[in-house]
Amino acid sequence: MPIATPETYTEMIDRAKAGKFAYPAINVTSSQTVTAALQGFAEAGSDGILQVSVGGGEYASGSTIKDRVTGTVALARYATEVAKNYGVTVALHTDHCVKENLDSWVRPLLALEAEEVAAGRQPTFQSHMFDGSTVPLEENLTIAEELLELSQRARTILEIEIGVVGGEEDGHEAAINEKLYTTAEDGLATVRALGTGEKGRYLTALTFGNVHGVYKPGSVRLRPELLGEIQEAVGREVGKERPFDLVFHGGSGSSAEEIALAVDNGVVKMNVDTDTQYAFTRPVADHMLKKYDGVLKVDGEVGNKKAYDPRAWGKAAEAGMAARVVEACQQLRSAGQKMA
């Protein structure tokens, strides 16, 4: 199946970690952005991850409705159907659910998936993220333990965040300061609470200076070598090499060298959102500015239907975003690595 099963998703993660590559996790908010991401994965010959934020789910349900569960499920069902034609395997994921949104978003989704599993079906999503960076570490891990147990029933993988990603993401904002760097002690506390797989598999976002949003290279000090130091310190205690399956958040503006070092240190998933938003919108702006007299009925004229047909600029938007997805696959070394 083009949408990964729980077993296939596990295989995807294992292949990435062993082969030292990572999957781009592309945020989607509409059928067009789903199509663009799939097109990019197919062109790169890469498997990948489609992910929905709480705001993306609300938008997909209808901008006047804002039902986050309905919109999230709708995007998943659309992706499940259209992905059949692209020749790649994709996993579906929900992104950055903070504590106050758990009861209205991720817990209902996990309950739906537990029902699907109990009925002998595959879960709609393959993983969900709990963003515990807004609460103290002890509370973060307590909630993560509960969600890991629920994830087991739903046959999904839990993603957690240990540390703080700066900048703004879906209404949550964090300062850019020393809290952006996870410590080895934080990593050890994580494995003591959640184990190293025996309680259920989980993905871990350890922060190393990451910031959401737009910034120029050099504006933020990333320390991807910190990931290796934490992997080594925790690995010594648990007797396992590179014990964490890592996630890279806030990667916009990162250099190729920083991305490569992060992947070498165990990153198997990198979130890509800001850059693909721009790549989608830039061709639309180009179309509107260059063809304004066709898009608009200037001076009482009738305009040009071929110019203002949403499919005209929509195709350009999808192609622009797809090209940025291909670039992400190449940077993360997943290009050409798709499963047979």
Is the separation of the CB atoms in 70 and 102 below 8 Å? no
Residues 6+ apart with CB under 8 A from 116: 122, 123, 124, 154
Residues 6+ apart with CB under 8 A from 239: none
Q: What is the Cβ-side half-sphere exposure of residue 24, based on CA atoms within 13 angstroms?
A: 35
pLDDT at 172: 44
Return the closest-CA partner of residue 332 out of 25, 83, 75, 59. Answer: 25
The pTM of the full predicted model, rounded to 2 decimals, is 0.94
pLDDT at 248: 95
> Does residue 95 carry a catalytic annotation?
yes
Measure the CA angle with vertex 47, ends 67 and 29; round to 5°: 20
Write out the chain's pLDDT in tens, 340 residues: 699 999 999 999 999 999 999 999 999 999 999 999 999 999 999 999 999 999 999 999 999 999 999 999 999 999 999 999 999 999 999 999 999 999 999 999 999 999 999 999 999 999 999 999 889 999 999 999 999 999 999 999 999 999 866 545 555 444 444 667 899 999 999 999 999 999 999 999 998 887 755 555 555 678 899 999 999 999 999 999 999 999 998 777 788 999 999 999 999 999 999 999 999 999 999 999 999 999 999 999 999 999 999 999 999 999 999 999 999 999 999 999 999 8
CA 96 – CA 309 distance, rounded (Å): 35
Is residue 221 helix, strand or coil? coil
CA 124 – CA 112 distance, rounded (Å): 8
Structure tokens at 31: 């059928």
pLDDT at 336: 98
β-pairing verdict for 48-52 and 23-27: parallel
pLDDT at 175: 46
CA-only gyration radius of the chain, Å = 20
Q: Which of 47, 95, 131, 186 is catalytic?
A: 95
What DSSP letter does each residue of 274-301 carry, written as one string?
HHHHHHHHHHHHHHHHHTHHHHS-GGG-
CA 128 – CA 291 distance, rounded (Å): 42
pLDDT at 4: 98
According to DSSP H, which parts of the chain are helical? 6-19, 31-44, 54-60, 68-82, 107-118, 137-154, 184-194, 225-238, 256-264, 274-290, 292-295, 305-308, 310-331
